[in-house]
A and B are shown apart, each in its own frame.
Chain A
């Protein structure tokens, strides 16, 4: 079965510093990977996806993610964090059998001023 793991429950970073939120995957076949963000009392917002092509994927709000096949990772990155980036981030993989997304447990990002 397809799965993703987010090893960190929480990531703390100071505003202006680069941030990384980690995600590793386990799939059979080619992975279709996604990042979503959830702000308090809001639904999930799509940030970016990797289907095929360049390993560095750019998304919304200045976020990007790097697909690394040898390390089976898809880490989310941003060069300079903003306080407003503080939210819950979910990595997900598409289940090829039934089209649903399989989500990680989420990582809370706290950006301090």
Chain B
């Protein structure tokens, strides 16, 4: 079946502008994650949604970052007043319910803040 999809694949924005990144998880996957991959660094956890529970926002780097998940499916990561250090690849992943544990990743959105 279809995998995790993300849009846009690339986004170039000016410093100070707001951006929205979208993630469509695999159908039936109840858990959804956002990670950030900066150049030369590993993956950094941002936020986690599980069903109707309150999200785990412990990884969000500042209050400029927020995310929502509507109807338990599509998620949007919003970055307000973007800064150059926000430039990175933003990866979304989803996980099936139960004890499978592994996460399935989308292709990512490459964000460049000029």
Contacts and interface: CB of A to CB of B under 8 A. Distances in A.
Interface in A87-113: 90, 94, 98-106
A32 B101 contact: yes
A51 interface: yes
B105 A49 contact: no
Nearest to A100: B45
Contact of B105 (A41, A43, A99, A100): A43
A101 B105 contact: no
Contact of A44 (B6, B41, B105): B105
Given A42-B107, A44-B91, A100 B56 contact: yes
Given A43-B91, A99-B31, A105-B41, A49 B102 contact: yes
A38 to B, nearest CB: 9
Contact of B106 (A36, A41, A43): A43
Which of B41, B43, B59 has the largest count of A CB atoms less than 10 A from its CB?
A: B43
Nearest to A48: B102
What's the interface size class on B, roughly?
Answer: 20 to 34
Contacts, number: 55
Interface string B72-114: 0000000000000000000101010001011111111000000
A99 B94 CA distance: 11
B103 A101 contact: yes
B33 interface: yes
A100 B59 contact: yes
Nearest to B4: A43
Contacts of B103: 46, 101
A49 B103 CA distance: 11
Contact of B50 (A43, A94, A99, A102): A99
B1 interface: no
A59 to B, nearest CB: 10
Interface of B: 4, 6, 31, 33, 35, 41-43, 45, 48, 50, 56, 58-59, 91, 93, 95, 99, 101-108
Interface of A: 32, 34, 36, 41-46, 49, 51, 90, 94, 98-106
